[in-house]
Amino acid sequence: MPLRAADIDEAAQRIAGVVARSPLQFSERLSEATGATVYLKREDLQAVRSYKLRGAHNLLMQLSDDEIAAGVVCSSAGNHAQGFAMACRSMGIHGRVYVPAKTPKQKRDRIRYHGRDFIELIAVGKTYDEAAAAALDDVARTGATLVPPYDDQRTMAGQGTIAAEILDQLDSEPDLVIVPVGGGGCIAGMTTYLADRTTNTSVLGVEPAGAAAMIAALAAGEPVTLDHVDQFVDGAAVNRAGALTYAALAAAGCGDSPPGRTFFQRNIEPILLQKCAGNTSGCHSTNADDPYQFAAGNFDVTTFENVQKRLKESIPQKLKFGMTVMPFVTRSMKFCSPTKFGAGASKRRLRRP
């Protein structure tokens, strides 16, 4: 059965006691820069600094006693693993986490911190896809349950609860919600919910140009494997979009350009990714007209030298740092272009929590 908005409502009730309801914060700077009213969904304030806790908790809370006894396994570029680790510890479930060998130390340390004695961390392979293959081998050998970072309806439903919160926090539906894309779990869940519960809200998915797997899938009519993936944005560097996430987006009529209600855009530079919940897994631009201004949230300081090097190779420019988060929520726009937001926006009041 396809993912439904009702599944996301049920997920919201299921995880309400363990996942924080993140603020929807008005951004004066981005609003002035774009001419729209821009809000930031502060998923970086979750205990694991990202929305990934939502999907992991929603899936684990639906497992049977036999499945829990057999153990659980996940693969991750780092962010999903933190949510998985915290969910395992809070529920008393033992799990194994497979991450790429290049996963930043900051993320590996946080995985161990959140999982404590309930998590075994295994670094293997150069890419996320190699780590995912190792996790599948584990499941085949041991009979453990796989907890996918995106390509599972329970994961998608948990991540889609962000959209449910956004609609509840605004006094009317937004014009545009901008969502970053890796494997597609967050945007699939949010798009499913917004397509059912709003009349005019558009969704813009943003991928790194060096790992635009979902755009390739939508263009081909099915998931395809990319010949090359730029690994700089490690949190979104997948070479193939999820089968279930693609199906959910295709069912919603997604495309790689307007005028559909959901469409995709490659980012201007392959090293600049608008990343959900402040977890850049690298870095991302906060202004399409000034792509060298970027924000970092879950950003390993050991990567900064590489950031500087790659920026200097393109256009030398003073770096401006700040904290921002995704998804962006914009109001009062004429048209939801990824680079130009309509003028004449006015600040809207949020409902009290």
What would the pLDDT profile of 49-75 be if each residue is shown by its tens digit?
889 999 999 999 999 999 999 999 999
- Asked whether residue 214 carries a pLDDT value surpassing 70, the answer given is yes
52-146: CATH number:
3.40.50.1100
**Per the confidence metrics, is the pTM higher than 0.85?**
no
Q: Are the C-beta atoms of 239 and 210 separated by less than 8 Å?
A: no
Return the sign of the alpha-carbon dihedral for residues 308, 311, 315, 317: negative
pLDDT number for residue 329: 57
- Mean pLDDT is lowest, of 55-64, 70-79, 91-100, 185-194, for 70-79
Between residues 267 and 328, the one the model is more confident about: 328
Residues 31-49 have pLDDT tens digits of 888 888 999 999 989 989 8
Across residues 74-86, what is the average pLDDT?
90
pLDDT in tens, 294-344: 344 445 555 556 555 654 554 444 333 333 334 555 544 332 333 222 222
Residue 1, both tokens: 């059965």
Write the pLDDT tens digit of every residue in 276-291: 223 333 333 344 444 3
* Every domain of the chain and the residues it spans: 5-50+153-331, 52-146
pLDDT higher than 60, residue 350: no
Listed range (3-12, 148-157, 174-183) with the worst mean pLDDT: 174-183
Question: Contact, 161 vs 189, CB < 8 A?
Answer: yes
What is the C-alpha separation between 217 and 232, in angstroms, rounded?
21
Please give the CATH topology (third level) of the domain spanning 5-50+153-331.
Rossmann fold (3.40.50)
